[in-house]
Structure 1
Amino acid sequence: MTIDFKFHQLECLVAVADHGSLRQASIYLGRSAAAVSKSLRELEEVAGVALLDRRERWGQKFGQVGKWNGRDLSWS
């Protein structure tokens, strides 16, 4: 199976992981929160899975696919 993703989509995912929220990731990337959210939704659509749980009021949590052994992935 090949997933046709774009670099900026992964860049957005990593920024959310590093900064803990879509808003902070958008500030870091110099993009609007709407643009970052759109990139993440496109990545989720291509991958066929939900990578983030958007029900969180403050910050983003990784969905079940974005976890390893029940813990959020971290790139630090």
Structure 2
Amino acid sequence: MITYAIIIERAEDGGYGAWCPDLPGCVALGDTEAEAIAEMREAIAFHLEGLREEGLPIPHPSTVAATTVTTDAA
């Protein structure tokens, strides 16, 4: 089992986008954060399947931790 970090961003239209720093081009969209995560899980599986079919290496996750930081508004 491999664990990849994903980034989830809120879109201007109110939806959510997600992407994986370790898998360039692997992205997903959803109307909610939970939907974006679910779609991203499927996108990662599809992406890795494509790499395997092409005989390409599966990238090892480089992200070891993720967090958010809160600061005073500028």
**Do they superpose with TM above 0.5?**
no
**TM-score, with length taken from structure 1:** 0.33
Structure with greater proportional helix content = 1
Q: Which has the higher contact order (CA 8 A, sep 6+)?
A: 1
